[in-house]
Amino acid sequence: MKKIITNIVSLSLFLPMHVFAQGFGQAPAPISIAPPADFGTTLFNVVNYVLGFIGVVALAFFVYGVFRYFTAGSNEDQLAEAKGTMLRSLIGIIIMAAAAASVNFIVGLITGGIGGGSAF
């Protein structure tokens, strides 16, 4: 275990060296600020970020359930809890995917985007 920790610390000391790979004496690139987006685009982006975060959390719970399932051994109570965790996280992923599809469709209808077509 000590050898693994030592290797991880050793590798992490060399990784930041690539960050300073820019040349000296070069002028920095000009900063460009994007124009403000309309309400539909902003709503679309916010909802997609939130749903993406929820999807990552649900996926993490699924992995946690799989880990608990593999480490439960022959204990039936722990196996049942692990199966329940995996099932609930899969239901959450399905609900999240349906919500993302619904929101994308509705925002497409409202804004006249490609995916939703036109409301008229």
pLDDT in tens, 8-48: 666 565 655 555 555 566 666 677 777 767 776 777 788 88
> What confidence score (pLDDT) does residue 61 get?
93
Residue 93 in domain: yes
Number of domain units in the chain: 1
Please spell the DSSP secondary structure of 3-70, one letter per residue. Answer: HHHHHHHHHHHHGGGGGG-SPTTPPPPPP--PPPPPHHHHHHHHHHHHHHHHHHHHHHHHHHHHHHHH
Whole-structure pTM value: 0.59
Q: What is the pLDDT of residue 66?
A: 93
pLDDT: is 61 or 30 the higher one? Answer: 61
The mean-pLDDT minimum among 2-6, 8-12, 21-25, 116-120 falls in 116-120
Write down how long the chain is. 120
115 neighbors 104 (Cβ within 8 angstroms): yes
Residue 29 covered by a domain: no
* Beta carbons of 54 and 96 less than 8 angstroms apart: yes
Is residue 37 included in any domain, yes or no? no
